[in-house]
């Protein structure tokens, strides 16, 4: 009995290791929660019903963004407690956005270019929805923070695409900070706003400053890599100089 349990446990561990390798083929993760997040994704992809497709998961993820937008609208016109609906929206967004591409690799049916294009497009539309929701909820000059958030996140998307073009590696993280950490942080901001009304404007300001600093740092790193590659290419094209 004990030996069977040990054997089954060992088999499951090996299977999980193989799943982790299969779902991480096309991207590098450096975010703080990356290790635990990948384990969770490996657990979930093995249990997603076969009738649920990658496109359906993308749609589920997008519905999370719409729920976040709706939470801002309801909080504006009904009651601030509806912001808590946004926390659920971020959880749904994580579920669909994290699993749509990974399930394709797990099932050995990846569409790398199609998935990349769809993922970037849906992410961008989702961020516009979230930013628009914040603009509806906020007042006066604070509405600009919603616009700033959309701009900063759009900049991060552009950086990710340029990194993919230059290095051939698709990474959605900026050091230890990735989409999952961003979702958790903003969810905490929503909860704090329910408890301490008016705190969101300051939290979003801090988030915007952080994103600005991160984007500037990532852009500088990418420019350095691009410049080094250009220099090497130029040197390779120059004829050998004789002493």
Take residue 240 and report the two structure tokens written for it. 């050998």
Name the band, by pLDDT with cuts 50, 70 and 90, for residue 27: low
The pLDDT tens digits for 160-196 are 888 888 887 777 777 677 888 889 989 999 999 999 9
The pLDDT tens digits for 201-215 are 999 898 889 889 989
Going along the chain from its start, the domains and CATH numbers come out as 31-235 (1.20.120.1760)
The pLDDT tens digits for 42-86 are 888 888 998 999 999 999 999 999 999 999 999 999 999 999 999
Average pLDDT of the segment spanning 38-44: 87
Whether residue 214 contacts residue 175, with contact meaning beta carbons closer than 8 Å, is answered with yes
The pLDDT tens digits for 118-153 are 888 999 999 999 999 999 999 888 888 888 888 988
Angstrom distance (rounded) from CA 77 to CA 184: 25
Take residue 57 and report the two structure tokens written for it. 């998961």
pTM metric for this prediction: 0.84
CA angle 34, 154, 187 (to 5 degrees): 50
Mean pLDDT of the chain: 84
The residue assigned the tokens 């083929």 is 25
pLDDT of residue 223: 93
Average pLDDT of the segment spanning 27-36: 76
pLDDT at 30 over 80: no
């Amino acid at each position: 009995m004990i030996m069977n349990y040990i054997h089954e446990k060992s088999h499951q561990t090996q299977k999980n290791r193989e799943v982790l390798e299969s779902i991480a083929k096309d991207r590098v993760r450096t975010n703080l929660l990356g290790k635990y997040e990948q384990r969770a994704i490996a657990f979930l992809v093995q249990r997603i019903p076969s009738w649920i497709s990658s496109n359906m998961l993308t749609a589920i993820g997008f519905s999370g963004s719409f729920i976040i937008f709706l939470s801002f609208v309801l909080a504006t016109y009904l009651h601030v407690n509806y912001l808590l609906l946004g926390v659920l929206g971020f959880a749904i967004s994580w579920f669909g956005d994290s699993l749509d591409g990974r399930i394709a690799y797990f099932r050995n049916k990846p569409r790398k270019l199609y998935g990349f294009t769809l993922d970037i497009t849906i992410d961008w539309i989702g961020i516009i929805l979230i930013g628009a929701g914040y603009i509806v909820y906020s007042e006066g000059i604070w509405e600009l923070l919603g616009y700033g958030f959309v701009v900063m996140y759009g900049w991060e998307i552009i950086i990710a695409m340029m990194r993919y073009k230059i290095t051939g590696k698709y990474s959605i993280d900026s050091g230890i900070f990735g989409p999952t950490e961003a979702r958790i942080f903003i969810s905490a901001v929503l909860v704090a706003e329910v408890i301490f009304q008016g705190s969101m404007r300051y939290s979003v300001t801090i988030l915007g400053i952080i994103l600005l600093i991160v984007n500037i740092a990532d852009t500088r790193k990418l420019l350095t890599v691009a410049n080094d590659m250009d220099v090497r290419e130029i040197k390779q094209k120059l004829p050998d100089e004789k002493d």
